[in-house]
Amino acid sequence: MGIGESVTQRVGAAGGSVQLTAQQGASSGVDFRIEVPPTALEADVEVQITETTNPPPADFVDYSPIYLVEPGDVSSEFQIDLTVPFGGNDGKIPATLAIYAAADPAGPFERVLDSYINAGFLQGSITHFGAFFAGSPRTAAEAACP
């Protein structure tokens, strides 16, 4: 779980980047970040990113806190790049590790289809704001773990 830290920044038609270091970024050396391309937003938007204190979904092994990007009703015709830092206790990176997204932190979460691992962080693209985390679906053996 995260620590509830947030950052807010205005992004408009010229595009821009919003990033949050928080707890996961400080330990991994990579910030959570969205990159909004020019013309993706029609008007200025106060974008807020929060490293939430919400627990991870029970059917996933979490490798990051759940991040909430608001306002939740923002969507774009253009791809918005997403960077999600991750870390694990055992040093292993499962092949199923990916970015998962939902409309809000309560889920349900679905895999970001173009999510991939890049040098200690995950990258992918989205067309809407919402909740995101780095995780891997629990295997049958992991299902008994807390």
Per-residue pLDDT, averaged over 124-128, amounts to 96
Per-residue pLDDT, averaged over 11-31, amounts to 92
Q: What CATH number is given for 6-144 in this structure?
A: 2.60.220.30
What integer pLDDT is reported at residue 1 of this predicted model?
A: 79
Which of 17-21, 85-89, 132-136 bottoms out in mean pLDDT, i.e. has the lowest?
Answer: 85-89
DSSP string, 39-75: TS-SS-EEEEEEE--PPPPTTEEESSPPEEEE-TT-E
Kindly report the CA angle at 71 between 4 and 2, in degrees rounded to 5? 15
pTM of the entire predicted model: 0.92
Matching residue, tokens 């989205």? 126
Q: Where are the domains of the chain?
A: 6-144
pLDDT in tens, 66-77: 999 999 999 898
